[in-house]
Amino acid sequence: MTSEDLLFSLSWVQPELLLAGFVLLGTLVGALFGARSTRLLNVVATAALFAAGVMALMHRPEAPQDIFAGAMSIDAFGAFAKAVIAFAAAATLLLGAEHFHRLQDQQFEFPLITVTAVLGMFVMVSANDLIALYVGVELQSLAAYVLAAWRRDDARSSEAGLKYFVLGALSSGLLLFGCSYVYGFSGSVQFDTIAAAAVEPGVGLMFGLVMVLAGLAFKMGAAPFHMWTPDVYEGAPTPVAALFAAAPKVAAVVLMARMLYEPFAGMEHEWRQVIAVLAGASMLVGAFAGLVQTNLKRLMAYSSIANMGFVLMALAAGSPEGAQAALIYIAVYLPATIGVFAVMMALRHQGQAIETIGDLAGIGQRHVGFAALLTILFFSLAGIPPLAGFWGKFEAFRASLGAGLVPLAVVGAIAAVVAAGYYLRVLATVWFSPSAPSDVRPSSGVSAVLAVVGAALCFPLLLVFMAGLEHAADAAVRASF
């Protein structure tokens, strides 16, 4: 690689460079000033994430640009995803900063590790060969393991971190195993070369792809690789759970879409069945298991599983419309999810973020504002028009029906109805349960603001935003595939 190539490549990864630079400098600052610098680092990290997102959006190529000798590829699709990831991560970072500030548990590593995870996600999004893919996934995952076990003195948090790590290692093993198969049967780690080999599908390539998909399904928390999600969400600190529910999902979805639509486009017929199975299983597990949950974080975990099922249903279409629908779905899913977590953190019970559905009893009488926010957010998650969640589901169903996946759409419809059951159950508790004499107190901090923003974004802001989103997603997909 010539220095000219290197400079050209570096010019396309400015967001990543920004984040990496922040992490390095921040580590230095933290090492020098310790916990006192936490506040500053939180602010700068949020700004850096925001800036990285904006930069990715502003500086996106017309046509895909292969950089670092084809290891990565920069395109509009990735730029769009990076912006979404960065904004979501910035929001959860703010939540975390407030959360740990309240707990008097200020550690300057939190913003640094969060940003490191985002860096990993950026690499995942732009990966154009198996090595970059694995590096991105691992960078993101290792940072996530640490975040999950953030409260080292808390048994549940430690358990969550350990579980996540062990199972994550297993999934990474599956991923690597699959990568080796793909390399072995195609002769290359480069996506373009694999694509050429995949024109003539073989059992080896197929098996490798399935293992890679299994690894990625674990990262996105799709059934039947979802088992870690409820346990880790419940054990991890609430802002970390919010982060897990948001940004990494986007990265994993984009990476999976890229795998399926670029190197393995020729094997669409083969992988569609697999994705359909993953989608159906995720939707059903997420919908039915969520019904019996009493813990809000576990409920949100199953909600995320079900929602990943809908994203996979869109991807199973195998058409540009499918990728576009997946992108729109995830974009409208994020504000609602982060909003719910923000409300959970804004309503505090003995100084802690509330955890169980029962804690919400009587909120409708005492804190109408938060009750209204929750109503909007859960309605959006349930897919009730005219909220954004409806349009996300609408696009997903349209894509899968357009591809003739009628049975999958039927399963999706059933799952949507069942899932609406548990969203509405929460709202029933909020509005109709007798107000128990509890000391749930609302706070008016960053979390409250973010809850309002999340709820506001659930209104297809207001269709103008939707039109813009659809246009952006459309453009991104068209420019990339």
Partner 1 sequence: MMIEAILVLAPLAGAFVAGVFQKVLGDRLAMGITTALVGLSAILSLLVFIDLIWGGGAPRTIELMRFIEIGAFQSSWSVRVDTLSAVMLVVVTSVAFLVHVYSIGYMAEDPHRARFFSYLSFFTFAMLSLVTANDLLQMFFGWEGVGVASYLLIGFWYQKRTANDAAIKAFVTNRVGDFGFALGIMATFHFLGTIQFFPTEAGDVALFSAEVGGRLVDGVLHNLSHMSLMVGQWSIPAAELTAILLFIGAMGKSAQFFLHVWLPDAMEGPTPVSALIHAATMVTAGVVMICRMSELFEMAPNAAAFVTLIGAVTAIFAATVGLAQNDIKRVIAYSTCSQLGYMVFAAGVGAYDAAMFHLFTHAFFKALLFLGAGSVIHGLHHEQDMRYMGGVRRAMQFTWAMMLIGTLALIGAGLPIEGLKIGFAGFYSKDAAIEAAYAAGEGGRAFGMFAFWIGVAAAFLTSFYSWRLMFMTFEGTFRPNPHPSHGHEDVRPGAASDADLGHGADQHGAHGVDHTPSDAGPAGGSGHGRDHRTGGGDGEGRAAPAGTAPAHESPWVMLGPLAVLAVGAVFAGWFFYPYFIGYKADAFWEGAIHRHHADHHFPIWVLWAPVAVTAAGFLLASVFYLLTKGMAERIARAAGPLNAFLAQKWYFDELYDAVFVKGARALGDLFWKGGDQKLIDGLGPNGVAKAARFGGRQLRRAQTGFLYHYSFLMLAAAVLLGAFAIWAGGGLELLGG
Q: What residues make contact with partner 1 under the rule CB under 8 A?
A: 163, 166-167, 170-171, 174, 201-203, 206-207, 209-211, 213-214, 218, 224-225, 227-228, 230-231, 267, 269-271, 273-274, 277-278, 285, 288-293, 418, 421
Which CB atom, from 15 or from 230, has the smaller least distance to partner 1? 230
Minimum distance from residue 315 beta carbon to partner 1 (Å): 15
Nearer CB in complex with partner 1: 45/316: 316
CA quadruple 364, 370, 372, 375: dihedral sign: negative
CB of 430 to partner 1, least distance (A): 20
Q: Is the N-terminal amide bond of 224 cis, ω within 30° of 0?
A: yes
Beta strands in 238-315 (DSSP E): none
Backbone phi, psi, residue 476, to 5°: -60, -45
Give 105 or 355: the residue with its C-beta nearer to partner 1.
355
| Min CB(336)–partner 1 separation in Å | 22
**Closest distance to partner 1 from the beta carbon of 414 (Å):** 10
Contact 176, 214 (CB under 8 A): no
For CA atoms 358, 359, 365, 370, the dihedral sign is negative
The total number of residues written for the chain in this structure: 481
Q: Nearest Cα to 364, choosing from 313, 297, 293, 436?
A: 436
**Crossing angle of helices 406-432 and 388-402, rounded to 10°:** 170
Contacts for 232 with CB less than 8 Å, ≥ 6 apart? 148, 160, 163, 164, 241, 244, 301
**Residue listed under structure tokens 């992108």:** 327
The nearer residue to partner 1, 212 or 458, going by C-beta atoms, is 212
Task: Tell me the pairing of strands 347-349 and 440-442.
Answer: antiparallel
Q: Which is nearer to partner 1, 428 or 449 (CB)?
A: 428
Nearer to partner 1 (CB atom), residue 111 or residue 286:
286
Identity of the residue, 118 or 306, whose beta carbon is nearer to partner 1 in the bound complex: 306
Residues 181/202, Cβ–Cβ less than 8 Å:
no
Q: Which is nearer to partner 1, 281 or 353 (CB)?
A: 281
- Select 170 or 384, whichever has its Cβ closest to partner 1: 170
With beta carbons less than 8 A apart as the criterion, state whether 380 and 388 touch: yes
Token couple for 272: 């569609």
Q: How far is the CB of 274 from partner 1 (least distance, A)?
A: 5
Query: Do 175 and 208 form a contact (C-beta atoms < 8 A)?
Result: no
**Between 264 and 379, whose beta carbon lies closer to partner 1?**
264
Asked if residue 197 lies in contact with residue 265, where contact means CB atoms within 8 angstroms, the answer is: no
Least separation, in Å, of the C-beta of 166 and partner 1? 6
- Residue 32: partners with Cβ closer than 8 Å, 6 or more residues away: none
What amino acid occupies position 142? L
The minimum distance between CB 364 and partner 1, in angstroms, equals: 23
Distance CA 58, CA 74 (A): 13
3-state secondary structure of 72: strand
Strand ranges of the sheet holding 440-442, from the earlier edge strand across to the other edge: 352-353, 347-349, 440-442
Least CB distance to partner 1 at residue 164 (A)? 10
What's the closest the beta carbon of residue 180 comes to partner 1, in angstroms? 14
Between CA 420 and CA 383 the distance in angstroms is 8
In the complex, the smallest distance separating the C-beta of residue 330 from partner 1, rounded to whole angstroms, is 23
Comparison of 203 and 436: residue with beta carbon closer to partner 1: 203
- Least CB distance from residue 190 to partner 1, whole Å? 23
